[in-house]
Amino acid sequence: MGEADLARLAAIAQPMSISEGRAFIAEGDPAEHFFNITAGTAKLFKLLPDGRRQITGFASIGSFLGLAVSVTYAFGAEAVEPVHLCRFSRPRLRTLIDDLPAMEKRLLEVASNELVAAQEQMLLLGRKTARERVASFLLARRDPPAAALVSLPMARTDIADYLGLTIETISRTLTRLRNEGLIDLPSPTRVRLLDPAGLNTLATGLS
Amino acid sequence: MGEADLARLAAIAQPMSISEGRAFIAEGDPAEHFFNITAGTAKLFKLLPDGRRQITGFASIGSFLGLAVSVTYAFGAEAVEPVHLCRFSRPRLRTLIDDLPAMEKRLLEVASNELVAAQEQMLLLGRKTARERVASFLLARRDPPAAALVSLPMARTDIADYLGLTIETISRTLTRLRNEGLIDLPSPTRVRLLDPAGLNTLATGLS
DNA sequence: CGTGTATTTGACTTTGTTCAACACGCGTGG
DNA sequence: CCACGCGTGTTGAACAAAGTCAAATACACG
């Protein structure tokens, strides 16, 4: 994309700040906007009528939200940490994308990668044990991918709803990993991976 | 897409027939091809080293496979029923797509829809009970979407690996739904939905 | 008609949930 | 400054849903 294209994009972007805990997409609402997160972390989730919740992913800097074709959002979104984002009117973005093949291509790449991540998560939810899920989660949250320190900005409830478990199981599993010397828990929101290789063995079910 | 474009597409398409039970994509193999299914049903799956399997979806006529960006396939694929498909060399298709914005657009639509389906499946795997999963599965497999008769070309093992359950639980749950008058099971591969509304209540967790 | 596979059913086990109590950190106000 | 209250996290004990193991039945195919 050239500079002129970026300028056109910037012209229709509405920058916004979302404070912690605020929802900015409601599942089922008319899908009028498209979002690009520029800072912070948001959780994306689906709900059952009785309140059960599945967090389908955490979106942070660079993530695109709302590219579904449907007229309504298929998921809700809420800030876990204060979020900065750019909002785009879908019809306006649509006309812009239509003569920016590079943008379309980029979106297809993004969607493809998310699809791969979604399949990995299905494997986790359908076939992994609680220990394997937590180990996988900790490894996946490393940034950079070799870092020993992992920060968990989301609450236990969110981790539980992401991994298809309860907060009690998350808590017990983390404690057990600590007792086994695989991790350290300097604070509830910080984890130090003491044995990444061991965690990886666990995460891939080889233990 | 114009007729000339379709002709160019057809020129690089390699039609193939895959017999039942044959794998045609192996997870981890170099992603050299792109597939378009023209008949039959295939299962897509991911494996853990110890053999646990998660089926991430069933692909049938019209499905596109292998659009991930990665150099290797993130999933395996195997014919459930005899499959007819067109295979495309990825580099050749890439050059073709690059000057067919309509095709790129179509692929983005497909990917977006699959993403929505994947999120729905994560909700199912992470938060629904066995009964809710089976009810959701039966309703989703209706074709047309209001049909009372559902055919299950895949074995119980495949249903189990798709719903994150065991074959025994699938079997017991179907029997129980039959005993409760919600469905009829004329044969293991055929299900008649006697009370779609009741099943829907179940599937959405409202019971 | 027999053989092998897929499915169903039954008895028992296990993993993770539920319910409940307790600990900890933190901000507010006495 | 410290007691109090509240939200979040941890731990324990009882429970339940689904899994495992095993056996019986049904089914398709040679």
- CATH ID of A3-125, from 3.30.360.10, 2.60.40.10, 3.30.70.260, 2.60.120.10: 2.60.120.10
Q: A123, A163, A165: which to substitute to probe chain B, counting the most B Cβ within 10 Å?
A: A123
Chain C bases near protein CB atoms (7 A cut-off): 6-11, 15-20
Chain D bases near protein CB atoms (7 A cut-off): 8-13, 17-22, 27-28
The fold for domain A129-203 equals Arc Repressor Mutant, subunit A (1.10.10)
pLDDT by 10s per residue, chain B, length 207: 778 888 888 899 999 999 999 999 999 999 999 999 999 999 999 999 999 999 999 999 999 998 888 899 999 999 999 999 999 999 999 999 888 888 899 999 999 999 999 999 999 999 999 999 999 999 999 999 999 999 999 999 999 999 999 999 999 999 999 999 999 999 999 999 999 999 999 999 998
Whole-number Å distance between alpha carbons of B14 and A76: 42
pLDDT in tens, A152-161: 999 999 999 9
From chain B, pick out residues whose CB is under 8 angstroms from the CB of A108: 67, 104, 107-108, 111
Q: Of all residues in chain A, what percent are helix, strand and coil, respectively (each to 5)?
A: 40, 30, 30
Contact A116 B53 (CB under 8 A): no
CA A201 to each of CA A132, B22, B94: distance values in angstroms, whole numbers, following the listed order: 9, 30, 37
Residue A195 has φ and ψ, to the nearest 5°, of -140, 75
Count of residues making up chain B = 207
Residue of chain A with shortest Cα separation from B203: A48
| Number of CB atoms found within 10 A of residue B187's CB | 8
Whole-number Å distance between alpha carbons of B46 and B17: 23
Q: Where in chain B is the domain with CATH 2.60.120.10?
A: 3-110
Q: Where in chain B is the domain with CATH 1.10.10.10?
A: 128-203
Residue of chain B with shortest Cα separation from A162: B126
Contact A67 B206 (CB under 8 A): no
Question: Chain B contact for A72, CB < 8 A?
Answer: no
Q: Where in chain A is the domain with CATH 1.10.10.10?
A: 129-203
Cβ(B199)–Cβ(B183) below 8 Å: yes
Architecture of domain B3-110: Sandwich (2.60)
Contact B116 A161 (CB under 8 A): no
Q: Is CATH 3.20.20.70 correct for B128-203?
A: no
pLDDT given for residue A58 in this prediction:
97
Contact B74 A119 (CB under 8 A): yes
Cβ(A190)–Cβ(B34) below 8 Å: no
CA of B131 to C1' of C3 (A): 35
Residue of chain B with shortest Cα separation from A121: B122
pLDDT in tens, A166-178: 999 999 999 999 9
Q: Which residues in chain B, range 177-206, keep a C-beta under 7 Å from any nucleic strand C atom?
A: 185, 188-189
In chain A, which stretches have pLDDT less than 50? none
Cβ(B84)–Cβ(B60) below 8 Å: no
Q: Where in chain A is the domain with CATH 2.60.120.10?
A: 3-125
CA of A160 to C1' of D15 (A): 20
CA of A115 to C1' of D3 (A): 53
For B6-93, list the strands marked E by DSSP: 14-18, 23-25, 33-39, 41-47, 53-60, 64-65, 76-79, 83-89
Whole-number Å distance between alpha carbons of B152 and B55: 15
Q: Which of B69, B98, B105 has the CB atom closest to A113's CB atom? A: B69
pLDDT given for residue A129 in this prediction:
98
Contact A56 B112 (CB under 8 A): no
Residue of chain A with shortest Cα separation from B113: A68
